[in-house]
Amino acid sequence: MQLTSEQVATFLLSISLMLLMAKLFGELFTKMKQPAIIGEIIAGILLGPTVLGMLSPDTFNWLFPSDTSLKVALDGITTLAVVLLLLVSGLEVDLSVVLKYRRTALSTSVVGIIVPFAMGFGLSYLYPQLMGLTNPDMRLVFSLFIGTAISISSLPIIAKILIDLKIFKTQIGFIIISAAMLNDVIGWLIFSLILGMMDAAGHGFTFAETLFLTLFFVLVVLLVIRRFTNKAVPWIQNNLSFPGGILNFILILGFIGAAFTEFIGIHAILGAFILGIAIGDSVHLKEQTREIIQQFITNIFAPLFFVSIGLRVNFIENFDLSIVLILLILAFVGKVTGCGLGAKLGGLKKNDALAVGFGMSSSGAMGIIIGLLALQYGLIENNLFVGLVIMALFTSMTGAPLMNFFLKERKKYSLENLLNPQLTFYTDVNTKEEIIDFLSGIAGKNLKSNSVEISKEVLAREKTNATGIANYLAIPHARIKSSRPIIITAINKKGIDFDSSDKTPSKIIILLLTPLGENELQLRLLAEIVKKFRDKEKVEELLNIKNEKEFIEKLKK
């Protein structure tokens, strides 16, 4: 069996059409501040049986024939695509962040799984017909699947939303991302076990064997392989061609992991995902390598996969309003209350907890992937698959605005927003007192409060504990009577003595004033400022900049 020349031509044409439509609609949705994946799936619906198949069945069947080797070739590509997509998602998981916020993250993800899982499982078990179950023998597995589908979150979509809202690298961003990572790992484990229970893969392993092998695999990869790769990565980068050696290493390990999990009766993507975590955890992995893999996979392979979703079923014929509504209600109520409650139990305030709840509600890519697998294994019908895709699209679209609503307060006071070129000055004064007077004067004017008092507070703080930090930075600060925080930046090329730990004079002096009582805010902003000055080279580059706007832009990076 071999592809004929005509099949090769059609194959290339359909791939280019899929990429073209995916890109067009992906960009359109990006412009509308929505995740690109929504546009990519809609592109598939347009190219698939739903629209093109209705308008011109001949063209559709010619481009995407269902019974020739062409379909197999395309299947091969989309299989690779989804495995690579999960490998990249795994690479993005940062275990150290998860560990740092483990309490809140664990409570958010565990409660955030239990509540929606219970709701989804309960409803489907009690009223299986409502969700479209056709084979009564499958009632238990089916209900377990619905529970999982409702409780899964989509790491890539959530990361994208956090980046768009500019809170990716803030405390709440880290909490959400860690919770989403844990959710992914737990969700995939449960789902893999469901597949194992169905003996879907049909490799003759019993459920217990699959369970054991899965846990064994996860532990070996995260405990042994992770350490091995951490040692192997620098060796490969130093001794083999770069970046070719390391690119191959990542893909080879990912594919082997994927093949292994597929063999033991769960799906290939779990293997790719877990290996991605293990490899991505290495601190030696260079940014350039991540960049090449990430860009190629998220821009080429991922769109191909998401477009292929729309090619599989007719979204109009299989649209079932009641299923869609039930899924949406379950997703929102279950995820938001579950994750919100978990976050609150984990120590967050009410508004922040709600923001976390809405942030975690996007089931996005992951919801679609497990929906597709369930469809392929005959566990669910087309109508439920369509419902799951719509649920994924809808929750991905609402995630950002709803989260934004509850974060307004917090966002306003992010370091990002407080750093302002108009509150940045190049000065020439010589002493600590002069510079603090100068900065306090500007702060007083802006906050409409007494500059002299501000100056006094700051100097008092300075006397008890000098605020010079290494790498030319000083952060004089105080808590004052004010309704909002403010940051004023001065750049003084001569340098002023602030008793810094590395004994060098401070050339960048950042005055930080926060409202009385907002202790957490002050500490958070201080920590974030210090973090920006960790890299001495970057600070030296900052000092070479000659205008306020560029300075602040570079500082924000």
Select the residue interacting with a second copy from 56, 241, 450, 519 (CB under 8 A).
241
Does 316 contact a second copy by CB under 8 A? no
Does 451 contact a second copy by CB under 8 A? no
Q: What does the block give as tokens for 190?
A: 């449960």
Q: Which helix (H) or strand (E) holds 515?
A: strand 506-515
The least distance separating a second copy from the CB of residue 108, rounded to whole angstroms, comes to 30
Judged by CB under 8 A, the stretch of 98-106, 211-219, 235-243, 358-366 that binds a second copy is 235-243
Ramachandran angles phi, psi of 348, nearest 5°: -85, 160
What is the C-alpha separation between 235 and 79, in angstroms, rounded? 31
Select the residue interacting with a second copy from 114, 222, 300, 530 (CB under 8 A).
300
The least distance separating a second copy from the CB of residue 551, rounded to whole angstroms, comes to 18
Amino acid identity for residue 147 in this structure: G
Nearer to a second copy, 347 or 378 (CB): 378
Does 114 contact a second copy by CB under 8 A? no
Judged by CB under 8 A, the stretch of 176-184, 199-207, 386-394, 487-495 that binds a second copy is 199-207
Does 547 contact a second copy by CB under 8 A? no
Does 32 contact a second copy by CB under 8 A? no
Judged by CB under 8 A, the stretch of 13-21, 163-171, 208-216, 507-515 that binds a second copy is 13-21
What is the C-alpha separation between 123 and 252, in angstroms, rounded? 42
Pairing of strands 486-496, 424-426: parallel
What is the C-alpha separation between 341 and 350, in angstroms, rounded? 9
| 448 dihedral zone (left: phi>0; alpha: psi -120 to 50; beta) | left
DSSP state of 507: E
Select the residue interacting with a second copy from 120, 128, 196, 303 (CB under 8 A).
303
Contacts of residue 43, defined as CB under 8 A and 6 or more positions apart, other chains included, come to: 18, 21, 22, 24, 25, 26, 307, 310
The least distance separating a second copy from the CB of residue 512, rounded to whole angstroms, comes to 32
- What are all long-range contacts of 32-37, with beta carbons under 8 Å and residues at least 24 apart? 33/164, 33/400, 34/396, 34/397, 34/400, 35/157, 35/160, 35/161, 35/364, 35/396, 35/397, 36/303, 37/156, 37/157, 37/302, 37/306, 37/364, 37/365, 37/396
> Which of 248, 246, 229, 225 lies closest to 289 in space, CA to CA?
246
Does 6 contact a second copy by CB under 8 A? yes
Count of residues engaged in binding a second copy, rule: CB under 8 A: 66
Q: What does the block give as tokens for 446?
A: 């802006």
Select the residue interacting with a second copy from 125, 168, 207, 296 (CB under 8 A).
296
Select the residue interacting with a second copy from 98, 258, 285, 360 (CB under 8 A).
258
Amino acid identity for residue 184 in this structure: D
The least distance separating a second copy from the CB of residue 32, rounded to whole angstroms, comes to 13
Q: Which of residues 335-394 bind a second copy (CB under 8 A)?
A: 376
Select the residue interacting with a second copy from 103, 203, 494, 534 (CB under 8 A).
203
Nearer to a second copy, 98 or 201 (CB): 201
Does 251 contact a second copy by CB under 8 A? yes
> Which of 278, 374, 373 lies closest to 82 in space, CA to CA?
373
Does 232 contact a second copy by CB under 8 A? no
Does 46 contact a second copy by CB under 8 A? no
> Which of 10, 86, 90, 79 lies closest to 304 in space, CA to CA?
79
Does 483 contact a second copy by CB under 8 A? no
The least distance separating a second copy from the CB of residue 109, rounded to whole angstroms, comes to 29
Select the residue interacting with a second copy from 96, 126, 136, 202 (CB under 8 A).
202
The least distance separating a second copy from the CB of residue 4, rounded to whole angstroms, comes to 8
What is the C-alpha separation between 277 and 97, in angstroms, rounded? 12
Q: How far are the Cα atoms of 182, 340, 349, 358, 515 from residue 345, in angstroms, in the given order?
A: 17, 9, 10, 16, 27
The least distance separating a second copy from the CB of residue 230, rounded to whole angstroms, comes to 20
Q: Which helix (H) or strand (E) holds 233?
A: helix 226-239
Does 325 contact a second copy by CB under 8 A? no
Select the residue interacting with a second copy from 8, 215, 460, 516 (CB under 8 A).
8
Q: Which helix (H) or strand (E) holds 245?
A: helix 244-263
Nearer to a second copy, 19 or 512 (CB): 19
Select the residue interacting with a second copy from 59, 238, 248, 501 (CB under 8 A).
248
- Report H helices in 264-377: 268-280, 287-296, 302-312, 321-329, 335-345, 350-359, 364-376
The least distance separating a second copy from the CB of residue 19, rounded to whole angstroms, comes to 5
Does 243 contact a second copy by CB under 8 A? yes
Written as one string, the DSSP assignment of 444-506 is HHHHTS-HHHHHHHHHHHHHHS--EETTTEE--EEEES-SS-EEEEEEEEEEE----TTSPPE
Judged by CB under 8 A, the stretch of 97-105, 261-269, 363-371, 520-528 that binds a second copy is 261-269
Does 93 contact a second copy by CB under 8 A? no
Summarize as ranges the residues that interact with a second copy (CB under 8 A). Answer: 1-6, 8-13, 15-16, 19-20, 22-23, 26-27, 30, 36, 67-69, 71-77, 79-80, 83, 200-203, 240-241, 243-245, 247-249, 251-252, 255-256, 258-259, 262-263, 268, 291-293, 295-296, 298-300, 303, 376
